[in-house]
A and B are shown apart, each in its own frame.
Chain A
Amino acid sequence: DQQVKQNSPSLSVQEGRISILNCDYTNSMFDYFLWYKKYPAEGPTFLISISSIKDKNEDGRFTVFLNKSAKHLSLHIVPSQPGDSAVYFCAASANTDKLIFGTGTRLQVFP
């Protein structure tokens, strides 16, 4: 039972444009959501998070949106840069429990 789903395995975006990565979840008890970025042969690196009491959190070029009624969150990267090319994982936890990860979306930003 996949509680956190990333239905797009890959995304290709031109440099300078917006990248939008999507994530859906099934567990209504989730109250903390994170995005991680992963380069090959490295561990995931924390990018941005949001708690369920908010619907938006912004950090520089990265913004995470949370729609609790739809059980959906998204990560917006604008403007996209070639260095953003990586695999992005959505993760969630409930009541300070362990993080549950999605299967990842591979983002490629081309010139």
Chain B
Amino acid sequence: GAGVSQSPRYKVAKRGQDVALRCDPISGHVSLFWYQQALGQGPEFLTYFQNEAQLDKSGLPSDRFFAERPEGSVSTLKIQRTQQEDSAVYLCASSPSGTGDSPLHFGNGTRLTVT
């Protein structure tokens, strides 16, 4: 079956531009996570949805970052007024469970480069 799909795969933005990254989770998956992976580092948690409810946004680095999942399926991560330090791979993951004790299924990520 189809896995987690993310678009675009690559995004180049000029500093100060707004970007929107899309995630299509596996159909029926309750939980959706966004992670940020900087070069040479492991994925770092950004935010978590259970259906349409954003239950944890403690990892969002600033108020320039905003995520939504209005109908409990597709999610969008928006970054306003991008800065060079926002350059990273943004990974989306979904899980069938509403709890954290089942593996996450990751998409291939969106590589954001801010120039």
State the A residues within 8 Å of B (CB). Answer: 4, 6, 32, 34, 36, 41-46, 49, 51, 89, 91, 93, 95-104
Contact = CB atoms under 8 A, between A and B. Distances in A.
Nearest to A99: B104
A96 B42 contact: no
A42 B93 CA distance: 12
B101 A51 contact: yes
Chain B binding site: helix, strand, loop or mixed by DSSP? loop
A101 B100 contact: no
B45 A103 contact: no
Contacts of A97: 56, 100
Given A43-B4, A96-B101, A103 B41 contact: yes
Interface residues of B, number: 24
B42 A89 contact: yes
A4 B56 CA distance: 20
Given A43-B91, A89-B42, A99 B100 contact: yes
B108 A42 contact: yes
B44 interface: yes
Contacts of A96: 99-101
A86 to B, nearest CB: 14
B34 to A, nearest CB: 10
B106 to A, nearest CB: 3
Nearest to A103: B42
B108 A98 contact: no
B45 A43 contact: no
A102 B41 CA distance: 8
5 tightest A-B CB contacts, nearest first: A43-B106, A101-B42, A96-B100, A46-B103, A96-B99
B42 A32 contact: no
Contact of A98 (B40, B45, B106, B109): B45
B43 A34 contact: no
